[in-house]
Amino acid sequence: MSLIIYLDGRFVKEEEAVVSVFDHGVLYGDGVFEGIRAYHGRVFKLKEHIDRLYESAHVIQLNIGLTKEEMTEVVIETCRRNNLDNAYIRLVVTRGKGDLGLDPRKCPKASVFCIASGIQLYPEELYQKGMSIVTVPTRRNNPEAINPRVKSLNYLNNIMAKMEAILSGVPEALLLNNEGYVTEATGDNVFIVKNGVLITPPPFVGLLEGITRNTVMELAREKGIDVQEKLFNRLDVYVADECFLTGTAAELIPVVSVDGRQIGNGQPGPMTNDLIKAYRELTKVNGPLIKNS
C-alpha cells in the first residue's frame, strides 16, 4: 500500500509526491532536514527536532513558510494518515524551485515534505554483541566551510566516509577533523567511557549536535554519571573502557572494536547497556501523542 506523504500543504500518495528538477535541494543540496522517531504512539523529542530544523534554516537564511506549531502538526498528521505508532520520519525543507543558477533569490518559495515509514539501521545482533568500526581517511567538513551543526541536505562528506567504511567491511566509521580529533561517525555521535566518566566531543570540534546525543547526556547526569564534553583522539578511543554511538535512527549502539583494537573487554559495557535501557524507557513516555485522545 502506498505511503501518504505531506507535500507543500497537501497529503498525497507517494507516487504523486514529486518535486521539480529545478528545485535547489535537488540541484545543489540547498535545504535542511530532520530524522525523527515515533515510538509507542508518540513522536519522540519532537520539539527538539523542530527547534533544530528552524535553527538550521535560519543559519542558511531559508524561510520555511510555516510556523513551528504548523510544522509540528504536519509531522503528527503524517503519522496519523499512515496509521503508524512506531515510525521513522523524514522532514525536509528545500529552497524550492528556482533556475539553474546558484542565486537563492530565484527560489521564491520553500518546498516542504514529510515522510513517515519504517527503518532498521542495524541488525539487532549488533545491539547485543556490539559493532566494529574504523577510522577513515575522509575528514569532517571544516565548520568554517560547511558547518556540520547545520543539518543540511548536503551529506556528501558523510556518504564518502560511509563508502570507505563499507569498503573496509564495517558498517560505520569514525571521522576526524583536520587536527586529528574525533568528531562523529557518518551518521551518529560518538561517546567513550573512561574510569567511570562519560565523554563526548564538544560541538565546536565539527559535529552535528544530535538530539539523541543530548538526551543520553541528560539521562547520564540524572544517574549521577560525570559527563564531559572534551576533545579526544583515536588513542583515547583505543584505550577507552567502553564506546558507543548515538543517533535518531541508530538509537544507542555499542562499539567493541575500532581499527582492529578491542575496546574494553570486547563486549558492550555496563554503562552502555544501562543507558540503552534508560533511553528505551524514555521513548515510552516522551513526545506528543499521534492519535487524538
Task: Find the CATH number of the domain harbouring 243.
Answer: 3.20.10.10
Percent of the chain with pLDDT over 70: 100
Please say whether the beta carbons of 133 and 104 come within 8 A: no
Average pLDDT, the chain: 97
Tell me the per-residue pLDDT of 103-158, one tens digit each, with 9 for 90 and over. 999 999 999 999 999 887 788 999 999 999 999 999 999 999 999 999 999 999 99
Of 93, 117, 141, the position where a domain reaches its end is 117
Predicted confidence band at 185 (pLDDT cuts at 50, 70, 90)? very high
Residue 290 lies in a domain: no
Determine the Cα–Cα distance for residues 184 and 230; give it in Å rounded to an integer: 13
Same domain, 128 and 240: yes
Residue 198 lies in a domain: yes
Residue 292 lies in a domain: no
On the question of pLDDT at 69 being above 90, the answer is: yes
Return the amino acid letter for 131.
M
Largest CA distance in the chain: 57
Q: What are phi and psi of 69, to 5 degrees?
A: -65, -40
Residue 178 lies in a domain: yes
On the question of pLDDT at 165 being above 70, the answer is: yes
Domain carrying residue 8:
4-117
Of 72, 96, 117, the position where a domain reaches its end is 117
Same domain, 86 and 168: no
Same domain, 108 and 216: no
Enter the C-alpha cell of residue 120: 532498521
The angle that helices 211-222 and 270-282 make with each other, rounded to 10 degrees, is 110
In this prediction, residues 85-97 reach a mean pLDDT of: 97
On the question of pLDDT at 46 being above 80, the answer is: yes
Q: Which of 61, 205, 53, 230 is nearest to 144 (CA)?
A: 205
Enter the C-alpha cell of residue 152: 543540511
Determine the Cα–Cα distance for residues 278 and 220; give it in Å rounded to an integer: 9
The continuous run of DSSP H or E covering 162 comes out as: helix 156-167
Predicted confidence band at 293 (pLDDT cuts at 50, 70, 90)? low
Tell me the per-residue pLDDT of 194-238, one tens digit each, with 9 for 90 and over. 999 999 999 999 999 999 999 999 999 999 999 999 999 999 999
Same domain, 176 and 65: no
The one catalytic residue among 129, 151, 194, 223:
151
Same domain, 168 and 100: no
Tell me the per-residue pLDDT of 260-292, one tens digit each, with 9 for 90 and over. 999 999 999 999 999 999 999 999 999 999 987
Same domain, 128 and 266: yes
Same domain, 136 and 102: no
Domain tally for the chain? 2
Same domain, 147 and 93: no
Task: Find the CATH number of the domain harbouring 67.
Answer: 3.30.470.10
Our answer to whether residue 13 is catalytic in this structure is no
Same domain, 206 and 181: yes
Residue 288 lies in a domain: no
- In this predicted structure, what is the pLDDT of residue 55? 98
Determine the Cα–Cα distance for residues 80 and 75; give it in Å rounded to an integer: 9
Residue 227 lies in a domain: yes
Residue 25 lies in a domain: yes
Same domain, 64 and 137: no
The continuous run of DSSP H or E covering 126 comes out as: helix 124-129
Residue 287 lies in a domain: no
- In this predicted structure, what is the pLDDT of residue 250? 95
Q: Which of 73, 67, 56 is nearest to 153 (CA)?
A: 56
Neighbours of 15 (CB within 10 A): 9
On the question of pLDDT at 1 being above 80, the answer is: no
Same domain, 138 and 189: yes
Of 57, 82, 117, the position where a domain reaches its end is 117
Same domain, 131 and 85: no
